[in-house]
């Protein structure tokens, strides 16, 4: 076979493999949920300790922090920045103490696609969350937020890939990524409206100290914006 023939055969094989690749869904909505509708009032439980820092020793080194305090320091900033970012993209936001999550039943698996799962805690049927004695219409529950270099939502939540690949992230940081699992919950009829896994990523260019703090802030802001987009709601 000629070189042109082999080239055509290889291109055809690549096309076939690409067409057979699964089109995974990272967001799943309830049939009654209307994409593009105004969000209205929404209560957001504080992030609390529902976040994960990947490669904490690397963050401590780059930020010149004591390794024993890096989680507390980044966690405080992360929670404050994320709350402010959500309030910016979702103007009718009321923050709820993180402790409300403790009243929910134990975590359950939320399936978005045939092999995309995450675990989250949702209110029990008949459990209405009150804010100042008022039942907000909806709740945006952030189940988990993960921050770190070279992250991949596939390696975290695509169980087929995660089980085969394990932790195959390159050691040299090339980007900083934030990934969140979330559910928009109807607080009055007690059912999930839409759930998803959202992410944001910015290139890492050897930032240290204040520049890395600015990068963490920027990727957090971008995550909140992407959650709002993935929910398919208008402010």
Q: Does residue 216 form part of some domain?
A: yes
Q: Does residue 165 form part of some domain?
A: yes
Q: Does residue 190 form part of some domain?
A: yes
Q: Does residue 204 form part of some domain?
A: yes
**Cα–Cα distance, 231 to 235 (Å, whole number):** 11
| Regions of the chain where pLDDT drops below 70 | 1-22, 162-170, 234-235
The number of distinct structural domains making up the chain is 1
**Structure-token match 């004695």, residue found:** 133
Q: Does residue 182 form part of some domain?
A: yes
- C-alpha distances in angstroms, 19 versus 9, 113, 116? 15, 18, 20
Q: Tell me the residue range of the domain where 215 lies.
A: 25-231
**Taking the model in full, what pTM does it have?**
0.86
pLDDT for res 21: 46
Q: Does residue 174 form part of some domain?
A: yes
Instruction: For residue 89, give every residue at least 6 positions away whose Cβ sits within 8 Å of its Cβ, in sequence order, or none.
Output: 224, 225, 227, 228, 235
Q: Does residue 199 form part of some domain?
A: yes
Q: DSSP label at 24?
A: -
**Cα–Cα distance, 139 to 122 (Å, whole number):** 10
Q: Does residue 19 form part of some domain?
A: no
pLDDT for res 7: 54
Task: Give SS3 for 44.
Answer: strand
Q: In this predicted model, what pLDDT tens digit does every residue of 196-231 receive, in sequence order? A: 999 999 999 999 999 999 999 999 999 999 999 999
Q: DSSP label at 103?
A: G
């Amino acid at each position: 076979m000629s070189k042109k023939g082999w080239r055509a055969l290889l291109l055809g094989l690549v096309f076939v493999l690409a067409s057979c690749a699964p089109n995974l869904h990272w967001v799943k909505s309830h049939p009654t949920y209307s994409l593009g509708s105004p969000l209205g009032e929404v209560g957001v439980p504080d992030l609390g300790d529902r976040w994960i820092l990947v490669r904490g020793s690397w963050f401590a080194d780059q930020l010149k922090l004591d390794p024993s305090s890096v989680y507390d320091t980044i966690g405080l900033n992360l929670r404050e920045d994320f709350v402010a970012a959500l309030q910016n993209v979702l103007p009718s936001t009321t923050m709820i103490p993180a402790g409300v999550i403790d009243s929910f039943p134990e975590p359950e698996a939320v399936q978005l696609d045939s092999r995309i799962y995450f675990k989250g805690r949702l209110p029990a049927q008949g459990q209405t969350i009150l804010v100042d004695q008022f039942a907000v219409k909806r709740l945006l529950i952030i189940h988990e937020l993960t921050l770190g270099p070279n992250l991949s939502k596939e390696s975290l939540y695509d169980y087929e890939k995660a089980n085969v690949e394990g932790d195959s992230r390159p050691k040299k940081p090339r980007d900083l990524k934030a990934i969140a699992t979330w559910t928009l919950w109807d607080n009055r009829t007690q059912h999930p409206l839409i759930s998803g896994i959202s992410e944001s990523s910015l290139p890492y260019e050897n930032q240290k100290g204040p520049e890395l703090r600015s990068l963490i802030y920027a990727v957090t802001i971008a995550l909140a914006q992407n959650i709002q987009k993935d929910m398919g709601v208008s402010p």
